[in-house]
């Protein structure tokens, strides 16, 4: 018998995994080989996708990137053979807690999920009272991975302490930031872990209903998640009696409709309620008046999916990792013009230079790195001059930057930073929910102003900085409030790109 793993992950599929699977099946038939094929999640080495693994003497060996023409190497060996998967430098250098099972198991096999440590966290939580679970999550130091970095345990305590017969757990899976795919990879690679985390959250705060709000841009993740929910219901992980405990928790998957702002938690709640995805003023906090005005935990996928490991291994083990007030691990998503792009889970504290050069291997084009945007479309552009900066919430905030959902986009020296600043404003204009003027009108003015600068109007630069100050001060949410970060960081670090445009126009 020959056992092979080929990911079902969207990144692998986008690079031809289905074609490789078809070719492999045909080749196995031709050779009369007895093939067992597992469709796993991705190991996160996305530059090697489609990455196949073959079991040799009980050890998984990696081959990649595979093409239909090279499947013979899975039988005979060859240039694409990379050796035992776990021995690859990318794998060995990680601390995989949240992503421990991603790429390892068949994501839709409940038996494999269990045999690889699934349900250990929930089993422990079921033996504790809600307040004790909340205290454990607080002690772990886990902070929201959706961007704002709010301590998860404190949010849970607010909902736990709130009066109300009906409370909700809402998972924010509206992963809209460019350079992020960690949520997607959990949903496609280990969906039961997310479900387990949400059940634990429900037990902890006294909620019996949950929603996962995902995005329409993720059809593969949504299909995997929907199937996983059905299996979880059949296995009694969710439903009227969680694992036979007599305590209820049920869960529904909802899909957004292509609005970036619906990742903002109050816009998301409006969207879930069937309304326009307009941001709500806070207070009231969603924790007190969230879905349908009832107490609601809104957490990112990674926040929730990290909880089972925290419960299983204990808060102290998690809190021992990281730096300062950034505890535990963070799944770095390395993207853009980079040689080795992918998902790399590590304790907080790696320097930007280590991430981009050592892990990522520099640019894909081979040209010098010009800038790295960290934290998605609302995150600042950093330069190689800042490569010593350790990865942490406060460390980045101190540089007028943010870690956001931990996506990093690498740009080479051919990038025009004026164009990137213009894009930031254009994106804000397209995605603004329209509630406040500085964002709705300001972003449109921002595009016009950058076009003036591009035409050589130097006076417009001070207009741009004034406009950014107005947006920062007068916007209700971070879409309008943080768009100035990429714009101003581009201007501050690369003034030449804004001046060169002027000279060219004169």
Partner 1 sequence: MPDSADLEPRVREILDAHSGVEGALLPILHAVQDAFGYVPEEALPLIAADQTLSKAEAYGVLTFYHDFRTRPAGRHVLKLCRAEACKAMGADRLHTQIRTKLGIDWHGTTADGRITLEPVFCLGLCANGPSAMIDGRVVGRLDTAKFDAIVGGLE
Residues that bind ligand SF4 (CB under 6 A): 261, 279, 432-436, 439-440, 475-477, 479-481
**Binding test (CB under 8 A) with partner 1, winner from 11, 171, 212, 439:** 11
What kind and span of H or E run contains 299? Answer: strand 296-300
Chosen from ligand FMN, ligand SF4, partner 1, none, partner binding at 75 (C-beta under 5 to 8 Å by type)? none
Chosen from ligand FMN, partner 1, ligand SF4, none, partner binding at 150 (C-beta under 5 to 8 Å by type)? ligand FMN
- Of 131 and 148, nearer to ligand FMN (C-beta) is 148
Nearest by Cα to 254 from 227, 232, 226: 226
Query: Could you tell me if residue 383 is left (phi over 0), alpha (psi between -120 and 50 degrees) or otherwise beta?
Result: beta
CB of 428 to partner 1, least distance (A): 11
Can residue 334 be called a binding residue for partner 1 (CB under 8 A)? Answer: yes
Q: What is the DSSP string of 359-378?
A: IT-S-SSSSPEEEEEESGGG
Chosen from partner 1, ligand SF4, ligand FMN, none, partner binding at 435 (C-beta under 5 to 8 Å by type)? ligand SF4
CB of 213 to ligand FMN, least distance (A): 9
Spatial contact of 295 and 155, defined as CB atoms under 8 Å apart: no
Spatial contact of 331 and 182, defined as CB atoms under 8 Å apart: yes
Can residue 479 be called a binding residue for ligand FMN (CB under 6 A)? Answer: yes
- Of 307 and 378, nearer to ligand SF4 (C-beta) is 378
Give every CB contact of residue 388 below 8 A, 6+ residues apart in sequence: 351, 352, 353
Which listed range, 126-134, 144-152, 191-199, 248-256, lies at the site for partner 1 (CB under 8 A)? 248-256
CB of 481 to ligand FMN, least distance (A): 8
- The Cα 305–Cα 199 span in angstroms is 11
DSSP β-bridge partners for residue 210: 169, 251
CB of 265 to ligand SF4, least distance (A): 12
- Of 425 and 439, nearer to ligand SF4 (C-beta) is 439
Which listed range, 198-206, 319-327, 382-390, 416-424, lies at the site for partner 1 (CB under 8 A)? 416-424
CB of 469 to ligand FMN, least distance (A): 19
- The Cα 335–Cα 347 span in angstroms is 19
Can residue 342 be called a binding residue for partner 1 (CB under 8 A)? Answer: yes
Can residue 172 be called a binding residue for ligand FMN (CB under 6 A)? Answer: yes
Sheet hosting strand 52-56, strand order edge to edge: 35-38, 2-5, 52-56, 59-63, 81-84
Can you give the length of the chain in residues? 506
Chosen from partner 1, ligand FMN, ligand SF4, none, partner binding at 440 (C-beta under 5 to 8 Å by type)? ligand SF4
Which listed range, 148-156, 237-245, 392-400, 424-432, lies at the site for partner 1 (CB under 8 A)? 424-432
Helix (H, G, I), strand (E, B) or coil at 56: strand
What kind and span of H or E run contains 449? Answer: helix 437-454
Can residue 483 be called a binding residue for partner 1 (CB under 8 A)? Answer: no
Can residue 439 be called a binding residue for ligand FMN (CB under 6 A)? Answer: no
- Of 73 and 409, nearer to partner 1 (C-beta) is 409
Integer CA distances (angstroms), 9 to 12, 16, 20, 106, 107, in order:
5, 11, 13, 11, 10
**Binding test (CB under 8 A) with partner 1, winner from 55, 106, 220, 451:** 220
Can residue 147 be called a binding residue for ligand FMN (CB under 6 A)? Answer: yes
DSSP β-bridge partners for residue 343: 333
**Binding test (CB under 6 A) with ligand FMN, winner from 6, 21, 198, 261:** 261
Can residue 148 be called a binding residue for ligand FMN (CB under 6 A)? Answer: yes
Integer CA distances (angstroms), 330 to 140, 163, 321, 404, in order:
14, 33, 10, 11
Helix (H, G, I), strand (E, B) or coil at 485: helix
Q: In this structure, is the dihedral angle defined by the CA atoms of residues 494, 499, 502 and 506, taken in order, positive or negative?
A: negative
Can residue 375 be called a binding residue for partner 1 (CB under 8 A)? Answer: no
Which listed range, 22-30, 106-114, 258-266, 467-475, lies at the site for partner 1 (CB under 8 A)? 258-266
**Binding test (CB under 8 A) with partner 1, winner from 411, 485, 494, 498:** 411
Peptide bond into 283 cis (omega under 30): yes
Can residue 188 be called a binding residue for ligand FMN (CB under 6 A)? Answer: no
Can residue 298 be called a binding residue for ligand FMN (CB under 6 A)? Answer: yes
CB of 261 to ligand SF4, least distance (A): 5
Give every CB contact of residue 161 below 8 A, 6+ residues apart in sequence: none
Spatial contact of 160 and 167, defined as CB atoms under 8 Å apart: no
- Of 279 and 408, nearer to ligand SF4 (C-beta) is 279
Q: In this structure, is the dihedral angle defined by the CA atoms of residues 119, 120, 121 and 122, taken in order, positive or negative?
A: positive
């Amino acid at each position: 018998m020959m056992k092979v793993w080929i990911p079902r992950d969207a990144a692998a599929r986008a690079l031809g995994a289905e074609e490789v699977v078809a070719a492999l099946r045909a080749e196995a038939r031709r050779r009369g080989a007895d093939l067992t094929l597992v469709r796993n999640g991705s190991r996160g080495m996305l530059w090697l996708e489609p990455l196949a693994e073959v079991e040799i003497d009980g050890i998984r060996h990696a081959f990649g990137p595979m093409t239909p023409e090279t499947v013979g190497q899975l039988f005979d060996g060859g240039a694409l053979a990379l050796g035992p998967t776990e021995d690859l430098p990318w794998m060995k250098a990680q601390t995989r807690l949240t992503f421990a099972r991603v790429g390892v198991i068949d994501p839709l096999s409940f038996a494999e999920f269990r045999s690889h440590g699934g349900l250990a966290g929930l089993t422990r939580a079921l033996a504790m009272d809600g307040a004790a679970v909340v205290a454990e999550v607080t002690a772990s130091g886990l902070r929201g991975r959706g961007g704002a970095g709010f301590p998860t345990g404190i949010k849970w305590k607010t909902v736990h302490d709130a009066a109300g017969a009906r409370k909700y757990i809402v998972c924010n899976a509206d992963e809209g930031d460019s350079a992020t795919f960690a949520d997607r990879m959990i949903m496609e690679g280990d969906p039961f872990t997310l479900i387990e985390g949400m059940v634990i959250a429900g037990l902890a705060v006294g909620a019996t209903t949950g929603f996962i709000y995902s995005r329409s841009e993720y059809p593969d993740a949504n299909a995997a998640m929907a199937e996983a929910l059905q299996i979880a219901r059949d296995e009694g992980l969710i439903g009227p009696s969680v694992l036979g405990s007599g305590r209820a928790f049920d869960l529904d998957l909802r899909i957004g409709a292509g609005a970036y702002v619906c990742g903002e938690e109050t816009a998301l709640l409006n969207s879930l309620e069937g309304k326009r995805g307009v941001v709500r003023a806070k207070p009231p906090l969603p924790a007190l008046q969230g879905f349908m005005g009832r107490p609601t935990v809104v957490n990112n996928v990674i926040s929730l999916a990290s909880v089972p490991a925290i419960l299983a291994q204990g808060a102290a083990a998690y809190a021992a990792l990281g730096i300062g007030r950034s505890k535990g691990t963070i799944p770095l998503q390395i993207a853009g013009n980079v040689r080795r792009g992918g998902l790399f889970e590590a304790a907080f504290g790696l320097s930007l230079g280590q991430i981009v050069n050592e892990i990522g291997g520099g640019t894909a084009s081979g040209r010098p790195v010009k800038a790295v945007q960290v934290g998605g479309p609302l995150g600042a552009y950093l330069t190689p001059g800042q490569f010593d900066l350790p990865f942490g919430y406060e460390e980045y905030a101190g540089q007028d930057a943010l870690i956001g959902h931990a996506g990093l986009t690498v740009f080479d020296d051919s990038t025009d930073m004026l164009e990137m600043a213009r894009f930031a404003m254009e994106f804000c204009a397209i995605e603004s929910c329209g509630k406040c003027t500085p964002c709705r009108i300001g972003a449109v003015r921002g595009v016009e102003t950058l076009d003036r600068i591009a035409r050589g109007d130097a006076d417009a630069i001070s207009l741009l900085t004034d406009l950014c100050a107005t947006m920062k001060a007068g916007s209700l949410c971070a879409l309008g409030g943080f768009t100035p970060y990429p714009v101003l960081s581009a201007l501050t670090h690369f003034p030449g790109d804004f001046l060169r445009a002027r000279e060219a126009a004169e």
